[in-house]
Amino acid sequence: MAKSYYRKDTKTWYVLHKREKIKIGKSERAAKHLADKINLEEAEGKVGLYKTKEKDITSFFEEIMDYKKSIRNLKKKSIIKYQGILNNFLGFLGSEFSTVTRLSQLNQFIFESYIKYRKNTPINKNGHPVKEKQLKGKDTNIKSGVCDKTIKNELEALKSMLNYAVKSRDPNKRYLTENPLEYLEPIRINDSKSKRPLTKEEVDKFLSYLEQKDNELYEIYFTFLCTGLRDGELRHLEWSDIDFKKRAITLKEKTVTFEDGQTEIWTPKTKNGKREIPIHGKLYTILKDRKKKNKNRSNFVFPDKKGGVLKLKLRNILIKIMRSIGINDFTRVHDLRRTFISFMAMEGVPRETTMDIVGHVDEDTYELYRESTRKHREESINKLRF
């Protein structure tokens, strides 16, 4: 008979079953659930929890990646992201749990250890692993570990992948009876990086600087500010998405052709991302001029030098520009989207209209933008003359 057991000195839950002691971690719920499951299976005369089909961890994840690559509308960027998450996790297992090679050996304690490992293992600011020679010097590009949100996203991706081993339509590929991440305590996001829109004065300063320094960058960032586009949406914006007669940009699922001739199904980030965006008067003139200058150069509105998808590191460029004009706390390209929404709120545009244009703004988020316009509203009241 299996039973849960708690060690006060280590503050750890275990499951005792026959001569086996299974380390669970900090979750009493997970320990009791596992013990109950073992007892139920024994009572029903089943083979038992630990007699499932064995599967090598590395080969299982390779199968998952092969499957993901076959998904019609999964973007290359997503595939790279999933592969990066797997590389991080498999690297952790190799260094910290080298004897764990089978899926059935994965448990909650391993994933709790992975959380600590990712929080405390130095990485480069671009997310790449730190090389040994970097640790010897004073490299300013090194961070002490990844943020809570990154860990949360990684665990969600790993949980989704491991679900295939539990719920596969093919009985021969059900390597686990339950997902080891099922009862892991959720990650609380404690990252306190500021998220804010720019003020009117800051926008004027930003655009004035760009107009003098680099016209290409001016047009790129001006488009962000006038449309509320996401980074990926602007990079994949094509001339076929722009209707100059209607003065509108239409975002929808499409087949994108790259400079090497390969194609990819591209879709907006969310189901509400399919939308029509009115073109601002000044932006209309900019796009018209770009169309004339780049008539046969590329199908992309903002291509790279070879005519393919824009590869500029727009966030790094943004940070550098903002520091040059004395704005040190504005570091995200996505905050230009927030700026657009904030300005729409300042002009009294209804929330529903803003939602139609940007694709997604929930009530709480919109209230955040309205709060950021409090000063503007106060100034407006003071303009009243009685």
Query: Is the pLDDT assigned to residue 140 strictly greater than 90?
Result: no
Query: Is the pLDDT assigned to residue 304 strictly greater than 50?
Result: yes
Distance CA 284, CA 296 (A): 19
Distance CA 292, CA 372 (A): 39
Query: Is the pLDDT assigned to residue 381 strictly greater than 50?
Result: no
So where are the chain's domains? 1-51, 53-192, 200-382
Contact in structure between 5 and 89 (CB atoms under 8 Å): no
- The model's pTM is 0.68
Contact in structure between 12 and 25 (CB atoms under 8 Å): yes
Q: Which residue has the higher pLDDT, 56 or 169?
A: 56
Contact in structure between 300 and 233 (CB atoms under 8 Å): no
Residue 181 pLDDT level (bands cut at 50, 70, 90): very high
Average pLDDT over residues 185-200: 78
b/e per residue 286-315 (b: at least 16 CB within 10 A): bbeebeeebeeebbbbbbeeeebbbeeebe
Distance CA 247, CA 318 (A): 28
pLDDT at 49: 44
| Cα-based distances in Å from 223 to 43, 270, 274, 318, 321 | 65, 20, 18, 14, 17
Average pLDDT score, the chain: 84
Q: For 200-382, CATH number?
A: 1.10.443.10
Q: Are strands 263-266 and 254-257 parallel, antiparallel or unpaired?
A: antiparallel
Distance CA 341, CA 103 (A): 46
As given in the structure block, the two tokens for residue 10 are: 């280590």
Instruction: Please name the residues in contact with 142: beta carbons below 8 A apart, sequence gap of 6 or more.
Output: 122, 123, 124, 125, 130, 134, 135
State which amino acid sits at residue 29: R
Q: What is the pLDDT of residues 212-251, one digit of tens each?
A: 999 999 999 999 999 999 999 999 999 999 999 999 999 9
